[in-house]
Amino acid sequence: MIGGFRNIAKIPELQKRILYTLLLLAIYRVGVHVPTPGIDTQALAAFFDQAKGSLLGLFDMFAGGALSNLSVFALGIMPYISASIILQLLTVVFPHLERLSKEGEAGRRKITQYTRYGTVLLSVIQGFGIAVGLESMAGPTGVSIVLTPGWGFRLMSVITLTAGTSFIMWLGETITEKGIGNGISLIIFAGIIARGPEGVVNTFRLLSTGEMGIFFVVILLVLMIAVVGTIVFVESGQRRIPVQYAKRVVGRKMYGGQTTHLPLKVNTAGVIPPIFASSIIMFPATIANFVPHPWMNAMSSYLMPGRLLYESLYVAFIIFFCYFYTAVTFNPADVADNMKKHGGYVPGIRPGKRTAAYIDKILTRLTFGGALYVSAVCVLPSILISKFNVPFYFGGTALLIVVGVALDTAGQIEAHMLTRQYEGFMKKGRIGRRR
């Protein structure tokens, strides 16, 4: 492991990518603490102290604490994720978008452009909803959160929050292009990690005041270690389908004839399903928190972490997005066609449609197991923790995202080193990259 880190210093390009990523993440963390004009920050902080463990607390976790400060990055990256979900769903419905998705780099750039437009539109809608909701809210002492309500504050908030989300979107895309790993996932990762020290301090505070026993802290620590170990074990799990390539004679040379395998990950979708599921649930629940209406308040109370309706919807959305995202990123028919073109076949299975059906059958079963694993990791710790009033960012969703993104980033760094014939982080075995 130490030797692997030493090898990073021998690759100037990799050094630049890592430093560039860290620089952009540092800029993001600075922006989290830049407040939106016209807000009483003390009244807002007191309000969010009461919202801990709720959906607002979950949203604040994904925003890296920007919502509780109502900073310029208060909306976080969720509008971009929501726009991506909508575009991917529309790709299945509209033939024009489906053709664009198959046109290679040009088509992907066009879909990315549509996603940016959708992000700005959703940011305007959510920013206006938050601004209107804040005008009717007050802190525990009755002090209004908004200093000067009116259309001036609303327009200023919409412009500020939309600009902040657009800047985060640019940061994420720039990290993906010029840095290391998936920029959007790394931004969420940085926001969750930044809340870690606060969680440790709060845990020691509860322990010192007697609100939490040492025995329960030990159980919590063991639970976190067990969840991390389970995530690492399952994320590295694969189902390897044997593939045989026939011998071909081209000129005077013979090609093929070797036996290899097609690796299918247990969790092909990675950390995307819980992120998508959280954004879908948080959108109506967040609006309900800011609208002072009995029916909306009742809906908000039912969509609280630990409640049956919230957990049921969360599991349902996770399972749906596991299958949906796997279908979007992995097409068994294309894989079978590529194998057939290069003379490859699965022993005992006829090439072509039979091979595609065989791969699809195995992938469907693997995805079901992966969906149950992701649901268990995200839901079970959250249910146990919410019953004991422990800070919510210790939940399984945060751990899954942190560990999953860390494994992905380590895999990206190792791939850069291996392409230049350096040893990776592990001399035995490799950290598999998620598709």
377: tokens are: 């990791």
Pick the more confident residue, 158 or 192. 158
* Average pLDDT over every residue of 15-26: 88
Residue 336 has a pLDDT of 87
> Length of the chain, please?
435
DSSP labels, 351-368: TTHHHHHHHHHHHHHHHH
Residue range 89-129, pLDDT digits in tens: 788 778 888 788 777 778 888 888 899 999 999 999 888 88
Q: What is each CA distance from 338 to 144, 345, 369, 399, in whole angstroms?
A: 63, 10, 27, 37
Classify domain 2-419 at the CATH superfamily level: SecY subunit domain (1.10.3370.10)
Measuring CA to CA, which residue among 54, 6, 96 is closest to residue 386? 54
Does the structure show a pLDDT above 80 at 376? Answer: yes
Least confident of 17-31, 60-74, 387-401, 419-433: 419-433
Measure the CA–CA gap between 343 and 336, rounded to whole angstroms: 11
Summarised one tens digit per residue, pLDDT across range 205-259 is: 777 877 777 887 787 788 778 878 888 888 888 888 888 877 766 666 666 567 8
pLDDT of 163-190, one tens digit each?
999 999 999 889 988 888 788 888 888 8
How many distinct helices (H) and strands (E) make up the chain? 18, 5
* Cα 199-160-28 angle, rounded to 5 deg: 40
Instruction: Please give the structure tokens belonging to residue 86.
Output: 């909508």
pLDDT in tens, 66-97: 676 778 888 888 888 888 878 877 887 788 88
